[in-house]
C-alpha cells in the first residue's frame, strides 16, 4: 500500500510536446467494437477528442464517418488526452449516452492502461491513494507559464484520486532502466495516472515532457528510446488505454461483462520490441533521427472548420 500523502514537487519541465501525430486516413479501420448503442475505436497518438486551439487533428473531423448506417453522429463518452492512445468509447444514441455517463460516474466501467515508465517501482503492485489539485504550471526558467493545466499532489486537500498499479516487466540497464506497468484508475481525475506515477512512485511515463526534465534521462534510458538528448521532446508519450470493461446491463443489451481491447500504438510497440533485445543499452545502440521523422510527416486531408459547420447545418435542415 502506498502512503496516502506525498510531498508536492517544486519544479517541473514546461517543454511542450512536439512529437508527430499518427496519421489517419480512414477512421473506420480503427474500429474495435460496435453494437446498437456503443462503438469503440483505437485512438491514435496526436488526435484530440475535441477541437482545441493549436491542434491540427481532432476526432470531430472524422467522427461523421463512424455513423455506420446510423442517422446520428456518435457522441464521445469518455476523455483521453491528445497523447494517450487506445480504447475510446463512443455512444450511438441517447440511450447509450445515458448508460455510459452512469457507468463512468459510478465507476462501473473499468479502464485499464499500459504505460512505459522510467525506473522501477519499489513494490511490484499496490494502490496509490493521493488527492490531486489543479492549477497552472510553475514558471519555467524564462518566467513563462505553460497554458496546460497540471495536476498537483495535495497534502491534505484536493480531489480524491486512487490508482492501482502492477509491474508487468522490468527492463534493467547499466545506467538507467525501464518498467512496463499495468495501471487502473479507480477515479476519473484529469492527469491522474501521470501525476501518481511521476510524483508518488517516482517513475514518470516515458514522453511525459511536462513532468520530466530532459536532463533526468540517464544514458541507458536514451539508448532504450533510440534518441539523442536534443531530440527527447520528439518522443511520444507511452500511455495506452489497453482495455475497457463494460458492465453487464440489460438496458445495454448484454447481461455479461464485455471487454474491449486495443493493440499497442506503433511507437509503443517499437520501443518495447527494442527493449526486449539484448543489446538495447550497448554502446553501439542504434539512434533514430526523430527530427527527420517529424519533418517528413504529412497530415492526412481533413475538412476545415467552415465545411464542417456547413455540413452540420445541412443535417439540421
Condensed to tens digits (0 to 9), the pLDDT of residues 140-193 reads 555 554 444 466 676 566 788 999 999 999 999 888 899 999 999 999 888 899
Q: Helix (H, G, I), strand (E, B), or coil: what is residue 59?
A: helix
Query: Model confidence over 238-270: pLDDT tens digits?
Result: 999 999 999 988 887 788 899 999 999 999 999
Question: Cβ distance 207 to 217 under 8 Å?
Answer: no
Q: Given the DSSP bridges, would you call strands 239-246 and 150-153 parallel, antiparallel or unpaired? A: unpaired
Quote the percentage of the chain above a pLDDT of 70.
Answer: 77
Would you state the pLDDT for residue 135? 63
Would you state the pLDDT for residue 20? 67
What is the average pLDDT score of the chain? 79
Query: Model confidence over 144-155: pLDDT tens digits?
Result: 544 444 666 765
Would you state the pLDDT for residue 228? 84
**163 vs 188: CA distance, rounded Å:** 10
Query: Model confidence over 273-311: pLDDT tens digits?
Result: 999 987 787 777 777 665 554 443 333 333 444 454 555
Determine the average pLDDT of the residues in 88-114.
93
Would you state the pLDDT for residue 165? 97
- Number of helical (H) and strand (E) elements in the chain, helices listed first: 6, 12
User: pTM value?
Assistant: 0.80
Q: How many CA atoms lie within 13 A of 314 on its CB side?
A: 6
Quote the percentage of the chain above a pLDDT of 90.
Answer: 38
Residue among 45, 107, 36, 99 at smallest CA distance from 72: 36
Q: Say which residue the cell 511490484 belongs to.
A: 124
Q: Helix (H, G, I), strand (E, B), or coil: what is residue 210?
A: coil
Name the more confident of 56 and 226.
226
Query: Model confidence over 14-44: pLDDT tens digits?
Result: 334 346 677 777 888 999 999 999 999 999 9
Would you state the pLDDT for residue 143? 57
- Bridge partners (DSSP) of residue 244 are 111, 260
pLDDT value at 63 more than 90: no
Cell of 156: 491534505
**218 vs 177: CA distance, rounded Å:** 8
pLDDT value at 117 more than 60: yes
Amino acid at each position: 500500500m502506498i502512503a496516502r500523502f506525498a510531498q508536492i514537487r517544486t519544479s517541473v519541465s514546461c517543454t511542450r510536446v512536439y512529437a508527430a501525430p499518427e496519421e489517419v486516413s480512414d477512421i473506420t479501420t480503427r474500429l474495435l467494437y460496435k453494437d446498437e448503442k456503443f462503438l469503440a475505436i483505437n485512438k491514435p497518438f496526436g488526435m484530440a477528442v475535441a477541437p482545441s486551439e493549436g491542434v491540427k487533428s481532432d476526432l470531430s473531423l472524422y467522427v461523421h464517418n463512424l455513423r455506420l448506417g446510423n442517422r446520428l453522429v456518435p457522441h464521445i463518452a469518455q476523455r483521453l488526452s491528445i497523447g494517450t492512445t487506445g480504447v475510446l468509447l463512443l455512444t450511438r444514441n441517447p440511450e447509450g449516452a445515458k448508460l455510459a455517463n452512469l457507468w463512468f460516474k459510478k465507476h462501473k466501467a473499468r479502464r485499464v492502461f499500459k504505460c512505459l515508465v522510467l525506473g522501477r517501482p519499489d513494490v511490484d503492485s499496490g494502490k496509490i491513494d493521493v488527492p490531486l489539485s489543479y492549477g497552472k504550471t510553475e514558471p519555467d526558467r524564462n518566467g513563462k507559464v505553460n497554458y496546460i493545466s497540471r495536476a498537483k499532489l495535495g497534502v491534505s486537500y484536493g480531489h480524491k484520486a486512487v490508482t492501482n498499479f502492477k509491474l508487468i516487466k522490468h527492463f534493467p540497464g547499466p545506467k538507467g532502466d525501464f518498467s512496463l506497468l499495468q495501471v487502473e484508475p479507480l477515479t476519473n481525475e484529469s492527469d491522474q495516472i501521470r501525476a501518481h506515477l511521476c510524483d508518488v512512485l517516482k517513475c514518470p511515463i516515458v514522453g511525459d515532457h511536462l513532468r520530466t526534465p530532459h536532463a533526468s534521462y540517464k544514458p541507458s534510458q536514451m539508448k532504450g528510446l533510440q534518441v539523442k538528448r536534443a531530440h527527447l521532446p520528439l518522443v511520444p508519450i507511452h500511455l495506452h488505454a489497453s482495455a475497457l470493461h463494460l458492465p453487464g446491463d440489460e438496458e445495454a443489451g448484454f447481461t455479461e461483462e464485455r471487454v474491449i481491447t486495443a493493440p499497442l500504438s506503433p511507437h509503443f510497440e517499437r520501443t518495447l520490441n527494442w527493449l526486449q533485445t539484448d543489446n538495447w543499452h550497448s554502446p553501439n545502440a542504434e539512434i533514430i533521427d526523430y527530427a527527420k521523422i517529424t519533418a517528413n510527416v504529412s497530415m492526412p486531408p481533413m475538412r476545415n472548420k467552415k465545411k464542417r459547420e456547413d455540413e452540420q447545418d445541412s443535417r439540421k435542415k
